[in-house]
Amino acid sequence: MGRIGFMDANAAIAEAAVVAGLGFYAGYPITPSSEVPERLSKIMPERGVPFMMMEDEIASINACVGAAASGVKAMTCTSGPGLSLKQEAFGMACMFEVPLVVVDVMRGGPSTGLPTRPSQGDIMQARWGTHGDHPVIAIAPANAQEAVFETIRAFNLAEKFRQPVYILTDGSLSHLHTKVYIPDPEEVEIVDRQAPDVEPDEYYPYDYNYEIPPLAPWWTKDGKSYRYHMSSLIHDKTGFPTVVPKYVQWLLNRMHSKITNHLDEILKYEYYKMDDAETCIIAFGSTAEAARVAIDEARKEGIKVGMFRPLTVWPSPEQQIKDIAGKVKNIIVPEMNLGQYILEVQRIVGDAANVYGISQATGTLIRPSQILEKIKNPEKKVEIVMTDEEIRRFGGGE
């Protein structure tokens, strides 16, 4: 049996990572994510597992990429400014195709922005932060308990698909304490890497014969030793660089298709009171909790509204959103930024339904009352307005 504790989402993620088999952590402290390494700094040494506090964010993710390439499950944790610094190495992890979990506890930005306040402003950075054509998986739990099982799922997806995976939370969710159940490893599915069933002289780390290639092996139970090469350059099946156009195109297509061909194993989402809904709220993370309250209040007033909540925000659940757009009149996307995920929803929906947003970047949570007001008056802009006097006082205008 597992155990019950009273903790926030940061601690829950740390505990769940250990359950998932975390074998290496390297990070650099940054508000509001520092409780993750703080907890791991106690747990991991007690288990004889390497924990490293690095000199900066860049060193942290590079150490994790190296650890993942050596055969262990690796994780790093940060917030927005640190995530920006990690992007180059994140791209390298994509090209290496190494399993890696990156936790991003979102806070207000740009730059150092609002260090202690919640935000959902890294949604597009999580998808497009690093350069080039690359696939990505990003998961957004809505509470501490969900963060436990979504962290385990993040490790499983990373291992199975040779892919770095984001866990996106925010500065409010990360510090909200609640009762949390931490399962034993025997209670949940744990995906571990498998060595290929070939002789060492027949092994290629990026062999096209594998639909989802096994990651380059580092040891096997029968004592076989494999040598391999990994490059951040476009490479062929040997892992060495190539500039042959058709190989370049093929590699990039394969990196994407290993995700797009297995969406049924990657996507996770929730429908809430959508059976007869005429309006749909599309929300993720802690904002979805406010949306749930607003929907319950609206239902008491006879308003037919429900919620679609993507737990996997990238890749986006396109078909599910398209299906919703064909059944409802209005879609509302509340998010703690100036409008990021709504762009993806608008791209998917097109003219099939009206799409409205609540775009708030105040460093405060979106309240259920704001969402309820938008449900009742979708065309009315819900915003925090400053008076002319406040603008003059704050901005120095005449």
User: Is residue 192 predicted with pLDDT exceeding 70?
Assistant: yes
Q: What is the pLDDT of residue 121?
A: 97
Q: What is the pLDDT of residue 398?
A: 52
Confidence grade of residue 193 (pLDDT, cut at 50, 70, 90): confident
Average pLDDT score over the chain: 92
Residue type, 165: V
Confidence grade of residue 215 (pLDDT, cut at 50, 70, 90): low
For 315-333, the pLDDT digits (tens) are 999 999 999 999 999 999 9
Q: What is the pLDDT of residue 199?
A: 79
Count of other CB atoms within 10 angstroms of residue 79: 30
DSSP 8-state secondary structure symbol assigned to residue 198: S
Q: What is the pLDDT of residue 389?
A: 78
Residues counted in the chain: 398
Mean pLDDT, range 102-128, rounded to an integer = 96
Q: Domain map of the chain by residue range?
A: 3-187, 269-376
Confidence grade of residue 237 (pLDDT, cut at 50, 70, 90): confident
User: Is residue 306 predicted with pLDDT exceeding 70?
Assistant: yes
User: Is residue 269 predicted with pLDDT exceeding 90?
Assistant: yes
Q: What is the pLDDT of residue 359?
A: 95
Q: What is the pLDDT of residue 222?
A: 54
Q: What is the pLDDT of residue 396?
A: 61
Tell which residue, 181, 188, 179, 210, has the closest CA to residue 197. Answer: 210
For 343-354, the pLDDT digits (tens) are 999 999 999 999
CATH code for the domain defined by 269-376 = 3.40.50.920
pTM of the full structure: 0.94
Confidence grade of residue 16 (pLDDT, cut at 50, 70, 90): very high
Alpha helices in 220-367 (DSSP H): 245-260, 263-266, 286-300, 318-325, 341-349
For 43-72, the pLDDT digits (tens) are 999 999 999 999 999 999 999 999 998 889
Could you give the percent of the chain with pLDDT greater than 70? 93
Q: Which residue has the tokens 């993370």?
A: 285
Whether 269-376 and 3-187 are alike in CATH topology: the answer is yes
DSSP 8-state secondary structure symbol assigned to residue 380: S
For 142-160, the pLDDT digits (tens) are 999 999 999 999 999 999 9
Q: What is the pLDDT of residue 227?
A: 79
Tell which residue, 136, 218, 176, has the closest CA to residue 365. Answer: 176
Q: What is the pLDDT of residue 194?
A: 76
CATH code for the domain defined by 3-187 = 3.40.50.970
User: Is residue 19 predicted with pLDDT exceeding 80?
Assistant: yes
| Higher per-residue confidence, 222 vs 386 | 386
User: Is residue 337 predicted with pLDDT exceeding 90?
Assistant: yes
Confidence grade of residue 207 (pLDDT, cut at 50, 70, 90): confident
User: Is residue 250 predicted with pLDDT exceeding 80?
Assistant: yes
Sheet of 305-310, strands arranged across: 269-272, 305-310, 279-282, 330-335, 354-359
